């Protein structure tokens, strides 16, 4: 498996999805993992594009069956990364991008210590995050309150990441993100090292 993994975490509303969307338009050989969730579909979101939306019962059944590479409960909903497509993409030497939370990152890092690059994206301040969540007009005030609370918890684990991007100016952030994508591909797995040494 020559593929690599780039984990992108950060509070909801920090701009992760827009950044990843731009990268997907212009970079080749990337597999963006579409997560499965039990949360309600937001206005404008599409099944199989943003998430696969399933019931809590179905999600719990899939946990039992070992279908997830990792899963976590975030804001009282389940979110998980399906295992099979990740292994397929890695075997095709792709860069796998995972938009997952801090809990998911911790698991993925343990499972693939050599091939994971980690990036945390956030806003310049809490106030700015709240402003963006309010502007989005997709969440209730209670949901926004919970998302802000969760953001503060996630920020406390920022030191577990290799890179930090403060998404103030979108174009500048995108440029930096592109560099990180390119660098993530250059990680070298144990298998690649062994193969190279044998050949050398």
For the CA atoms of the chain, what is the radius of gyration?
Answer: 17
Nearer to ligand 5GP, 103 or 183 (CB): 103
DSSP state of 135: H
Contact string (CB under 6 A) for ligand 5GP, positions 97-136, x = contact: --xxx-xx--------------------------------
Does residue 74 interact with ligand 5GP by CB under 6 A? yes
Host H or E run for residue 74: strand 68-74
Q: Which of 72, 86, 90, 129 is in the footprint of ligand 5GP by CB under 6 A? A: 72
Give the number of residues written for the chain: 200
Q: Which residue has the tokens 């990337």?
A: 30
In the list 5, 35, 62, 86, the residue contacting ligand 5GP (rule: CB under 6 A) is: 35
Q: Considering all CA atoms of the chain, what is the largest pairwise distance in Å, rounded to the nearest integer?
A: 61
Structure tokens at 143: 């949901």
Q: Tell me whether residue 18 or residue 191 sits nearer to ligand 5GP (CB atom).
A: 18
Bridge-partner residues for 119, per DSSP?
8, 163
**Residues lying near ligand 5GP in the complex (CB under 6 A):** 9, 12, 35, 39, 70, 72, 74, 79-81, 99-101, 103-104
């Amino acid at each position: 498996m020559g593929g690599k993994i780039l984990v992108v975490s950060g509070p909801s509303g920090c701009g992760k999805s827009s950044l990843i969307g731009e990268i997907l338009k212009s970079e080749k050989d990337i597999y963006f993992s579409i997560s499965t969730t039990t949360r309600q579909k937001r206005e404008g979101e599409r099944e199989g594009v943003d998430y696969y939306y399933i019931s809590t019962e179905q999600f719990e059944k899939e946990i039992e069956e070992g279908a997830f590479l990792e899963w976590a409960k975030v804001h009282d909903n389940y979110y998980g990364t399906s295992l099979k497509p990740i292994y397929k993409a890695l075997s095709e030497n792709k860069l796998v991008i995972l938009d997952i939370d801090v809990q998911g990152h911790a698991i993925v890092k343990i499972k693939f210590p050599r091939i994971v690059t980690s990036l945390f994206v956030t806003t310049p301040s809490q106030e700015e995050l709240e402003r963006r969540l309010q502007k989005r007009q997709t969440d209730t005030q209670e949901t926004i309150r919970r998302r802000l609370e969760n953001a503060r918890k996630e920020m406390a684990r920022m030191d577990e990441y290799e890179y930090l991007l403060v998404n103030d100016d979108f174009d500048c952030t995108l440029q930096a993100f592109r560099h990180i994508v390119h660098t993530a591909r250059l990680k070298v797995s144990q298998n690649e090292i062994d193969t190279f040494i044998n050949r050398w």
